[in-house]
Structure 1
């Protein structure tokens, strides 16, 4: 525990989570993962986020229209189901989509996803290719670890320990042998 506190004192703005709120913990960890991946030269691909914003805007307009239109909910359910399917099949648990790093030999970016089930302390981080069928795509890598090893008793993230784990996973992905076709 002393080592954890020593590492957090060097950070001027430590990231603090409410240890009783699993959403708070996951948000801090996901935010840190995004920082780590982008610091390694990957640029965030925001196209899917933009599509989701556009769909959200369309849904809001439809909702406003539906509020004052004479037809009821069941008649617009196909559109709503299509929106949900797009989010479910493409995004899943993704927290970050990237382009390939500048100057790299690979032609695909990354999809970084995470899970922290409710009432669990086990955080799963997965890194895979944005285009798994590409010839330059590596195999998916992941780790599952307890969040208790990255936070102090006060809820402060020990970024040094977490960065080491995430960078090790990025390195493992980078040196993973290519898929056999």
Structure 2
């Protein structure tokens, strides 16, 4: 496993534009996804699929409104219906993104052969004009009896990138794996 990490780092180093915080966050988020899935967690894409289906329906509604056979005065009611559906479905889509996803970069199923019945929600933040990257791991179902309390760390991205913008994957892997291990620890039971 250690050899595989070092070989992948020498073959295709991950590079970010250090003056663009979106580029830095993208490289780190991609690496987090690789690390979590390498630990046996399978990505849960249901939320992404729901967003894609809703987006497709919204586009189809817009296309119907644009290319309806009748001209404007005759299709007024149809256009009003299309506009109303467009606004309502867009609102629902934005609400789902705001309430359910927030800063999530990855949803997972529980690992196979695991005693836990809940997957993970991995979230990250890198505020604009800041070098502090926050990574949080929480349960996908926080009300589940097998859910562990959320864990997070906040560290400067300068610890993981060279001056040329190359990600030092070994250091980043250690930090993320330590966070995953911290999440997977059995919670201490008080007496």
The TM-score, its normalising length taken from structure 2, stands at: 0.84
Listed one character per residue, the Cα deviations across residues 57-76 of structure 1 (whole Å, up to 9, x for unaligned) are 11111222233464358634
C-alpha separation between the residues in 2 aligned to 1:79 and 1:9?
43
* Aligned counterpart, 1:53: 52
Q: 1:98 aligns with which of 99, 104, 108?
A: 108
C-alpha separation between the residues in 2 aligned to 1:99 and 1:31?
18
8 Å CA contact retained: 1:139, 1:179:
no
8 Å CA contact retained: 1:8, 1:158:
no
* Aligned counterpart, 2:179: 169
The TM-score, its normalising length taken from structure 1, stands at: 0.89
C-alpha separation between the residues in 1 aligned to 2:187 and 2:32?
23
- The alignment status of 1:126 with 2:136, answered yes or no, reads yes
Q: 1:145 aligns with which of 145, 155, 163?
A: 155
Structure showing greater Rg: 2
* Aligned counterpart, 2:71: none
Listed one character per residue, the Cα deviations across residues 36-92 of structure 1 (whole Å, up to 9, x for unaligned) are 000001011111111111111111112222334643586342222111101111111
Question: Structure 1 residues 123 and 179 mapped into 2: Cα distance closer, same or farther (>3 Å)?
Answer: farther
Q: CA deviation at 1:179?
A: 8.7
Q: Which structure 2 segments of 5+ residues have no match?
A: 1-5, 69-75
Give the secondary-structure state (helix, strand or coil) at the position aligned to 1:128.
Answer: strand
RMSD, aligned α-carbons: 2.2
Q: How many residue pairs were aligned?
A: 174
C-alpha separation between the residues in 2 aligned to 1:162 and 1:146?
11
C-alpha separation between the residues in 1 aligned to 2:65 and 2:99?
27
Listed one character per residue, the Cα deviations across residues 80-139 of structure 1 (whole Å, up to 9, x for unaligned) are 211110111111111111110110100000000101111111111000000000000000
Q: 2:146 aligns with which of 116, 129, 136?
A: 136
